[in-house]
Amino acid sequence: MESSPGPSGGWYSRLQSGGHPPSVAAKNTACSSLPRFPFLELTEELQHHVLSFIADAPFESLGNEDANATLTGVLPLVSKHFQKISRSNLLWKAAFYRAIESDDVWKRAARNRSLQIPSRSGNDDVDFRSLYRRLYHEEIAFAGPVFVMGMEDEEIPERYSLYLFEPRYRLMVERLLNIHDEWQRNANANEDSGSCPPLYFLHAHRGLGCQGGQPCVALLVEIIRCMGMPTGHYDVTLQVNAIVRLERFWIEPNTGHLYHAYGRKIQLV
């Protein structure tokens, strides 16, 4: 039976049959003789077009733990010329469209903002860098109070109810209701939210801190019904909106140990 090519025969031995492996100097000579791509001789438009294939923007892929991106963490450090290119509207335009066309969270964010998405052709007057940043900070990033309680079931429900009686969580709900007078009236009358503006908080359903080496996540939940009790407690019905990866969390002073957190949506529910 014919032996397979490997260290003892076949293409490997034929490759080595010419003698000793080439020296480092020979390798460097061979590399220096290779044709170089004249990148800087290209027009500015072509340079931007070439780099658009590798120039990703921060959080373009929301599930990545590393927030570094080529447009903000690599190109600006190469040279002044590349620093200028990293601010190119063409590169940010490409990143913007990649994000809203390939990721469901970015897609919903664009819909929620009711943006008139400009077409790919033309629209040089649109500042895509600012548009990208605004969409991220206004629709994908989230900061708010945190309810901490584990769930028995692994499967995340679409809708569920909580009875909030701890002072810190009563304070949390009271603060949210006070944002809009209409919400406060509905809660006192035990009515559904109706057309009230949405109110959100985070439910740390796996606790706070990394679990088994996994990043800390929480549910972003919307209050769709809030019933105020004579005792000051609240019975709330919640709609799960998204899973949020928490980047940091802290205890707000003078709240009876109420946590707040900041993170980004990574998955819709």
Q: Which of 23-27, 42-46, 193-197, 254-258 is predicted with the least confidence, judged by mean pLDDT?
A: 23-27
Single-letter code of the amino acid located at 171: L
**What residues does 240 pair with on adjacent strands?**
221
pLDDT at 176 over 60: yes
Q: Is residue 197 within 8 Å of residue 212, measured between CB atoms? A: no
pLDDT at 243 over 90: yes
- CATH architecture for the domain at 142-268: Roll (2.30)
> How far is Cα 227 from Cα 210, in angstroms, rounded to an integer?
33
The CA-based diameter of the chain, rounded to the nearest angstrom, is 92
pLDDT at 4 over 60: no
> How far is Cα 249 from Cα 116, in angstroms, rounded to an integer?
34
Domain ranges of the chain: 39-138, 142-268
What pLDDT was estimated at residue 42?
83
Instruction: Provide the whole-model pTM.
Output: 0.77
> How far is Cα 208 from Cα 153, in angstroms, rounded to an integer?
17
With bands split at pLDDT 50, 70 and 90, how would you rate the model's confidence at 35? low
The tens digit of pLDDT for each residue in 41-86 reads 888 888 888 888 888 999 998 877 767 789 999 999 999 988 998 9
With bands split at pLDDT 50, 70 and 90, how would you rate the model's confidence at 24? low
Average of pLDDT values for 223-229? 89
CA dihedral (179, 229, 171, 215) positive or negative:
negative
Q: Which CATH class is domain 39-138?
A: mainly alpha
What pLDDT was estimated at residue 28?
58
Structure-model confidence comparison of residues 158 and 10, the more confident one: 158
> How far is Cα 74 from Cα 82, in angstroms, rounded to an integer?
9
Indicate the burial class of 73 (C-beta count within 10 angstroms; 0-12, 13-18, 19 or more). middle
> How far is Cα 105 from Cα 172, in angstroms, rounded to an integer?
26
Average of pLDDT values for 148-161? 90
Token duo for residue 85 = 């290119």
